[in-house]
Amino acid sequence: MHAFFLLCLLPSTIFAAGLQDLVSASNDFEVEMIEHEHVLEQNPSATELAASTLKYAKAKERYFAELRNSVPTLVDMATGKTPKVDKIREIFSGYGEAQGRQIEAATV
Protein backbone atom coordinates (compact mmCIF):
# COMPACT_ATOMS: atom_id res chain seq x y z
CA MET A 1 0.00 0.00 0.00
CA HIS A 2 2.80 2.41 0.89
CA ALA A 3 4.64 1.56 -2.33
CA PHE A 4 1.50 2.33 -4.36
CA PHE A 5 1.08 5.68 -2.60
CA LEU A 6 4.75 6.49 -3.23
CA LEU A 7 4.41 5.66 -6.92
CA CYS A 8 1.38 7.95 -7.22
CA LEU A 9 3.26 10.92 -5.75
CA LEU A 10 6.58 10.46 -7.54
CA PRO A 11 5.73 11.94 -10.96
CA SER A 12 4.71 15.32 -9.54
CA THR A 13 7.77 15.39 -7.28
CA ILE A 14 10.13 14.53 -10.14
CA PHE A 15 8.59 17.10 -12.46
CA ALA A 16 8.60 19.77 -9.75
CA ALA A 17 12.29 19.24 -9.07
CA GLY A 18 13.05 19.38 -12.77
CA LEU A 19 11.26 22.68 -13.23
CA GLN A 20 12.30 24.49 -10.06
CA ASP A 21 15.13 26.36 -11.82
CA LEU A 22 12.80 27.35 -14.67
CA VAL A 23 10.25 28.78 -12.25
CA SER A 24 12.96 30.73 -10.44
CA ALA A 25 14.34 32.11 -13.71
CA SER A 26 10.82 33.02 -14.84
CA ASN A 27 10.18 34.97 -11.65
CA ASP A 28 13.51 36.80 -11.93
CA PHE A 29 12.85 37.64 -15.59
CA GLU A 30 9.42 39.04 -14.74
CA VAL A 31 10.84 41.20 -11.94
CA GLU A 32 13.57 42.57 -14.24
CA MET A 33 11.02 43.31 -17.00
CA ILE A 34 8.90 45.33 -14.60
CA GLU A 35 11.91 47.17 -13.16
CA HIS A 36 13.24 47.92 -16.64
CA GLU A 37 9.86 49.27 -17.68
CA HIS A 38 9.82 51.59 -14.65
CA VAL A 39 13.31 52.83 -15.49
CA LEU A 40 12.24 53.56 -19.07
CA GLU A 41 9.24 55.56 -17.83
CA GLN A 42 11.47 57.81 -15.68
CA ASN A 43 13.50 59.26 -18.59
CA PRO A 44 16.79 57.68 -17.37
CA SER A 45 20.32 58.83 -18.01
CA ALA A 46 22.45 56.79 -20.38
CA THR A 47 24.21 55.09 -17.45
CA GLU A 48 20.93 54.15 -15.73
CA LEU A 49 19.49 52.87 -19.01
CA ALA A 50 22.58 50.78 -19.73
CA ALA A 51 22.62 49.27 -16.23
CA SER A 52 18.91 48.46 -16.35
CA THR A 53 19.17 46.99 -19.84
CA LEU A 54 22.10 44.80 -18.80
CA LYS A 55 20.21 43.42 -15.77
CA TYR A 56 17.18 42.76 -17.97
CA ALA A 57 19.30 41.03 -20.62
CA LYS A 58 21.01 38.78 -18.05
CA ALA A 59 17.65 37.74 -16.57
CA LYS A 60 16.28 37.06 -20.05
CA GLU A 61 19.35 35.03 -21.01
CA ARG A 62 19.07 32.95 -17.82
CA TYR A 63 15.37 32.33 -18.45
CA PHE A 64 15.92 31.05 -21.97
CA ALA A 65 18.87 28.89 -20.87
CA GLU A 66 16.70 27.29 -18.14
CA LEU A 67 13.83 26.89 -20.61
CA ARG A 68 16.17 25.03 -23.00
CA ASN A 69 17.37 22.81 -20.14
CA SER A 70 13.78 22.07 -19.08
CA VAL A 71 12.52 20.98 -22.50
CA PRO A 72 13.05 17.24 -21.84
CA THR A 73 11.06 17.49 -18.60
CA LEU A 74 8.31 19.48 -20.31
CA VAL A 75 8.13 16.94 -23.14
CA ASP A 76 7.94 14.08 -20.61
CA MET A 77 5.10 15.89 -18.85
CA ALA A 78 3.23 16.46 -22.09
CA THR A 79 3.61 12.89 -23.33
CA GLY A 80 3.08 11.23 -19.96
CA LYS A 81 6.53 9.62 -19.98
CA THR A 82 8.16 9.29 -16.60
CA PRO A 83 11.47 7.41 -16.96
CA LYS A 84 12.43 7.69 -13.28
CA VAL A 85 9.00 6.55 -12.11
CA ASP A 86 9.03 3.68 -14.60
CA LYS A 87 12.37 2.54 -13.16
CA ILE A 88 10.95 2.62 -9.62
CA ARG A 89 7.86 0.69 -10.76
CA GLU A 90 10.16 -1.90 -12.29
CA ILE A 91 12.05 -2.23 -9.00
CA PHE A 92 8.88 -2.73 -6.99
CA SER A 93 7.06 -4.84 -9.56
CA GLY A 94 5.91 -8.05 -8.03
CA TYR A 95 5.99 -6.64 -4.51
CA GLY A 96 2.97 -8.00 -2.67
CA GLU A 97 1.79 -10.19 -5.55
CA ALA A 98 2.49 -13.39 -3.61
CA GLN A 99 0.38 -12.12 -0.72
CA GLY A 100 -2.37 -11.16 -3.16
CA ARG A 101 -2.37 -14.66 -4.67
CA GLN A 102 -2.50 -16.25 -1.21
CA ILE A 103 -5.45 -14.10 -0.19
CA GLU A 104 -7.21 -14.77 -3.48
CA ALA A 105 -6.65 -18.52 -3.14
CA ALA A 106 -7.94 -18.48 0.44
CA THR A 107 -11.10 -16.58 -0.46
CA VAL A 108 -12.00 -18.65 -3.55
Summarised one tens digit per residue, pLDDT across range 67-80 is 999 998 888 888 87
Residue of 26 and 91 predicted with greater confidence: 26
- Alpha carbon separation from 60 to 27, 32, 63 (Å, rounded): 11, 8, 5
State how far the Cα of 52 lies from the Cα of 32, in Å rounded to an integer: 8
Rounded Cα distance, 71 and 21, in Å = 12
Q: What is the pLDDT of the chain when averaged over all its residues? A: 79
pLDDT of residue 44: 95
Say if residue 3's pLDDT is above 50: no
For the cut 90, the answer to whether the pLDDT of residue 33 exceeds it is yes
CB neighbour class for 36 (10 Å; exposed up to 12, middle 13-18, buried from 19):
buried
